[in-house]
Structure 1
Amino acid sequence: MPINLTVARLNTSRPDILSRRSNRYFWSALTVAVVYALPVVQLLITYQDIVFQTGNQDLCYYNFLCAHPLGFLSDFNHVISNAGYVLLGLVFMLQTRLRQRRMKNNQDIGIPQHWGLFYSMGLALVMEGLLSGCYHLCPNKMNFQFDSSFMYVIAVLCMVKLYQNRHPDVNASAHATFMLLAFIMAIGLFGIMYPSVYFWVVFTIAHIATCLILTLKIYYVGRFKMEWSIFSTAFNGLRLHGRRAFVPKYLARAVLLAVANLANWALAAFGMYEHNKDFARHVLAILMGNTILYMMFYIIMKLIHKERLMLHTWLYFVLAHAAWFSALRLFLDSRTKWSVSTRY
C-alpha cells in the first residue's frame, strides 16, 4: 500500500472503470426518459384536442374550483407549478458539472465520485417535472402513472448513491437498477388498472421477500448470492455453531436493518388494510420511506464510527426535513383526485 493512503486508493477498480460504470447510469436514464416521455406527450396532447373538439370535460378529472385555464392549457397553474422540478434538476446537473471540473486534478480526495449517477439524479428530477406537467394536462386513471414514475426513479437512485458512498466497488449496475425500475413501474401500472385483494396479497409477499433478500445483501456487503446452496450453508452453520449462529457479528448494522424490516412490515400491513386505496401512492411510500430510512441508517453509522459531520451538513439536514414534511403535508392534502369524476 502507498505511504499516503487515501480512501480512493483502497478501491480494487481503476478510476476509468468506475467512471464508465457511472456514465452508464446517465445514458440509461436518458434513454428511458426519451423513450418514455415521447408517447406521454403525444397521448396528453391528443387528450387535450379531444376535450376541446368534443367539449366532454369528463375525460379529464379536473377540480374546476382550483383550475386556471390559459391558452390551450385547461389547468395552467398545475402545469406551470412543475417548472420548479425542471429548474432544480438543471441547476443540480450544472452544479455537478462545475464540481467535476474542480475535482478533475484531485481524484484521490474522498471517495471515488460517480458523476454519471449524479447526472442521472438531476435528469430524473427534470423528467419528474415534465411528466407531472403532462399528467396535469388531462388527469385521469389512464395516465396517473406518468405523475409518479420518475418519483420511483429518484427514490431508487438516491438509495444507490447512498450505498455507493460507502461501497464504490460493490454498487449495483445501471442495467440491473433500471431493470428493477421497469419492473416497479409495470407493477404500479397493473396495480392501478386491476386492483384486487389477490393482487395485494401477492405484492405484499413479494415486498417482504425482497426486503429480506436486500437485508442479507446489505449485511454481507454484496457477498450474499441467491443460490440453492445457501440453505445447506445455513443448516451447516446452525449445526456447527448452534445458538451462536444467531448472534450478529456487526451489531449496529443488524439492529438498524431490523428496524428497517419492521418499518417495511408495518407498511405492508397498512397496505393490506387499506388495499382499496391508491396503489401508486403505496408503492411511492415504500420507496421514499426506505430512502429516508437508509439515509438515517447512513448518518447513524457515521456517528457510530465517530465521523465528524460539519455544521453546514446539519443545517442542510434540518432544512431538507422541514421541506420534505411540508411537501408531504401538501401532497397528502391534495384537492384533486384522479380516481373521481368532475362531479366529485
Structure 2
Amino acid sequence: MEKSSNSIGTGTMIDMANYNENLPLVDNISISNLSVQELLTESEVRRQLKTQPVYLKYFWKILLIISIFYSLPSIQFVLFQISEPTIECYYNYKCLRPLLGIPAFNNVVSNIGYIVAGASFIMIVYFTSQKEDGVHGLHTDLSLYYCLGLAITFEGVFSGLYHVCPSRLNFQFDTTYMLIGSGLLFFTLHQKRHATLTAGAFKAFSFFSLFVFLEVISLSKINVYAFWIIFTVVFGYVSVVGSSYLLAHKRMELNSSFGYLVKSLKRILHPSTIEDKSRFFSILFANVLSWVIVVAFGVYSIIHSVSNNFSNLILGIMVLNFLIYLAYYIAMKYRYGEKVYLSVWILLVVMFVSWGFAIYFFEIPLTNKFLTFQESLQLNKPCVLFNYNDWHDCWHYTSALGLFSLVSVVYFIDWDLRKTPRSLIRVF
C-alpha cells in the first residue's frame, strides 16, 4: 500500500499537526507575525493548491469537442439513411409510433431518460461540490464527474440517433458512449486517491478510441480469426500494462511491465512477500475472470463464425472490472475506519435493482440487425407500456436510472472525508 508522506520536503501532504486552518494566506499577513513552521505550512498549502493535476481539467472539454464533431457526420448519415429507400431500418413494426417524420419516435424519445440522468448528475455535482482548500478531503477536481454526466447525456443523444433508423451500419452510435462511460467510471474512482497517477485526457480518450475502432471492424466482414488475433494482442497488452501500473503505482513500458508482473506472480508461492495482499489478489481475480470471459467469447465466436458480439464483451469486461474495483474500494474504506453513508448503500441497491430489470428487458429480442430483415421481423413484439413503449424502451428507462445511481455512488462514496485532514486519508 502507498504511504502518504506528511513532510514538507516531499510535498505530498502537509504537516497537519502544526497547521492552523484559521490562519490567512501569507500574502495577507505580516511575515514577522509567523513562526518558521507556520510559514512553511502556509507555503505548502499554497503549493498544493497550485500544483493539483491540471490535466484532469481537460477531460470534459475534450469529450465535449469530440461529441460535437462526432455528432455532425452521425446526423448526416442518419438523415441519409431515412431518405434512402434501399436501406432497411430494423424497427419493431408491432410497436411503431411515428411522429415528426421519425417512424419509431417512441424508441427515440425514450432515450430522454439518459439526457435527464446526465444533466441531473452534472447539476448535483455543480451545486454540492466544495471549494478545494488543499488541506481537507480528497482531491476535488470536478472535470471527470462532469465528464461522466456528459457521457450519459450523449449516450441518450446518440442512442436516439441510432434509433431513427437502427441498422448494422450505425450500431456504433448506440455503444460508443457506453464504452467511454464505462472507462471513465474506473478513471474517476481511481483518481480519488491517485490524482497525480491517473492518465491524462489525451491518453484516456486514445485508449477509448482503440476499443471503438475494434468495435467498428467487428461489425465489418473481417475474418473472425483475424479479428480475435488482433483483439487478443490488444487486450493482452492492456492487461499487462494496466495490471503492472495498478500494482506498482507507476507507468512502465511493456517489457518492464511484463517483467514486473512475472515477478509479482511468483510471489503467490510465497504469500508473506506480497506487500499489499488485498490489492494484489483483487487485480489477479479481475484478470483471471476477464480472460476466462474473453476465451469463452472467442471460442463461441470462432465456432459460430461471428464477431459482432464484441460490444457486449468489452462492455461486460469493463463494467465487471469496475465493480470489482468498487467492491475493493468499499472494503478498504471500512478496513481503514472510514464510513460509507446510508445514502450510498441505498444508491447501490437502486443501481443493482434497476440494472437487473434493465438487463432483463434488454435480453428480450425485438429485432436483430445481424439477421436478415425478414428474420428480424419475426422477432417483433407489441407495445407493453401505455400502448406506446416496447421492451427496449423499458431498457432505456431502467438503464438510465441505473447509470445515474452508479455515477452518484462514485461521487458520494467519499462524502465522509470532506472535513478529514488530507494527511490522515489513506491511499489504497
TM-score normalised by L of structure 2: 0.71
Structure 1: gaps of 5 or more residues: none
SS in 2 for 1:18: coil
1:13-54 superposed Cα distances (whole Å, 9 cap, x missing partner): 73344363222001111111111111101110121122xxx4
1:85-141 superposed Cα distances (whole Å, 9 cap, x missing partner): 0111111111111123xx127553310112111111111111100000000111111
TM-aligned CA distance change 1:13 to 1:105, over 3 Å = closer
Amino acid at match of 1:72: G
Equivalent pair of 2:139/2:195 in contact (CA under 8 Å): yes
Alignment of 1:270 with 2:301, yes or no, is no
Partner residue in 1 for 2:105? 76
Partner residue in 2 for 1:96? 125
Cα deviation for residue 253 of structure 1 reads: 1.0
Alignment of 1:311 with 2:345, yes or no, is no
Of the structure 1 ranges 208-217 and 116-125, higher mean CA displacement relative to structure 2 is found in: 208-217
Q: Distance in 2 between matches of 1:234 and 1:336?
A: 44
Amino acid at match of 1:137: V
SS in 1 for 2:52: helix
The two structures, once aligned, show a CA RMSD in angstroms of 3.0
Q: Distance in 2 between matches of 1:280 and 1:242?
A: 33
Q: Distance in 2 between matches of 1:155 and 1:234?
A: 25
Q: Distance in 2 between matches of 1:80 and 1:238?
A: 50
Partner residue in 2 for 1:211? 239
TM-score normalised by L of structure 1: 0.87
Amino acid at match of 1:140: S
* Aligned pairs (5 A) from 1:40-59: 40-50=74-84, 54=85, 56=86, 59=88
TM-aligned CA distance change 1:232 to 1:159, over 3 Å = closer
Q: Distance in 1 between matches of 2:357 and 2:149?
A: 22
Equivalent pair of 2:241/2:252 in contact (CA under 8 Å): no
Partner residue in 2 for 1:339? 370
* Aligned pairs (5 A) from 1:10-25: 14-18=48-52, 20-25=54-59
* Aligned pairs (5 A) from 1:27-66: 27-50=61-84, 54=85, 56=86, 59-66=88-95
Q: Distance in 2 between matches of 1:88 and 1:71?
A: 25
TM-aligned CA distance change 1:20 to 1:209, over 3 Å = closer
Cα deviation for residue 340 of structure 1 reads: 2.3
TM-aligned CA distance change 1:228 to 1:316, over 3 Å = closer
Of the structure 1 ranges 315-324 and 73-82, higher mean CA displacement relative to structure 2 is found in: 315-324
Cα deviation for residue 193 of structure 1 reads: 1.0
Alignment of 1:2 with 2:2, yes or no, is no
1:141-191 superposed Cα distances (whole Å, 9 cap, x missing partner): 111011000001100111001101221221111111011111111111011
Amino acid at match of 1:88: A
Cα deviation for residue 219 of structure 1 reads: 1.1
Amino acid at match of 1:3: A
Structure 2: gaps of 5 or more residues: 1-14, 21-41, 376-428
Partner residue of 2:60 out of 22, 26, 46? 26
TM-aligned CA distance change 1:164 to 1:187, over 3 Å = same
Of the structure 1 ranges 196-205 and 30-39, higher mean CA displacement relative to structure 2 is found in: 196-205
Q: Distance in 2 between matches of 1:185 and 1:146?
A: 10
Q: Distance in 2 between matches of 1:71 and 1:13?
A: 56
Of the structure 1 ranges 160-169 and 189-198, higher mean CA displacement relative to structure 2 is found in: 189-198
Cα deviation for residue 293 of structure 1 reads: 2.1
SS in 2 for 1:194: coil
TM-aligned CA distance change 1:118 to 1:207, over 3 Å = same
Q: Distance in 1 between matches of 2:164 and 2:315?
A: 22
User: How many residues align structurally?
Assistant: 333
Partner residue in 1 for 2:187? 160
1:58-84 superposed Cα distances (whole Å, 9 cap, x missing partner): 521222112222230111111001011
Cα deviation for residue 12 of structure 1 reads: 11
Partner residue of 2:318 out of 264, 287, 295? 287
Partner residue in 1 for 2:175? 148
Cα deviation for residue 3 of structure 1 reads: 2.0
Equivalent pair of 1:11/1:169 in contact (CA under 8 Å): no
Equivalent pair of 1:124/1:150 in contact (CA under 8 Å): yes
TM-aligned CA distance change 1:67 to 1:91, over 3 Å = same
Of the structure 1 ranges 318-327 and 332-341, higher mean CA displacement relative to structure 2 is found in: 332-341
Q: Distance in 2 between matches of 1:179 and 1:12?
A: 33
Partner residue in 1 for 2:393? none
- Amino-acid identity (%): 24
Equivalent pair of 1:24/1:116 in contact (CA under 8 Å): yes
Q: Distance in 1 between matches of 2:208 and 2:262?
A: 34
Q: Distance in 2 between matches of 1:227 and 1:263?
A: 22
1:290-332 superposed Cα distances (whole Å, 9 cap, x missing partner): 2222222222222333322222221111111111222122222
Partner residue in 1 for 2:37? none
Cα deviation for residue 271 of structure 1 reads: 1.2
Q: Distance in 1 between matches of 2:80 and 2:268?
A: 66
Equivalent pair of 2:49/2:133 in contact (CA under 8 Å): no
Of the structure 1 ranges 134-143 and 59-68, higher mean CA displacement relative to structure 2 is found in: 59-68
Equivalent pair of 1:201/1:272 in contact (CA under 8 Å): no
Q: Distance in 2 between matches of 1:287 and 1:173?
A: 19
Alignment of 1:328 with 2:359, yes or no, is yes
TM-aligned CA distance change 1:181 to 1:246, over 3 Å = farther
Partner residue of 1:67 out of 81, 84, 96? 96
Of the structure 1 ranges 283-292 and 156-165, higher mean CA displacement relative to structure 2 is found in: 283-292
Higher radius of gyration, 1 or 2: 2
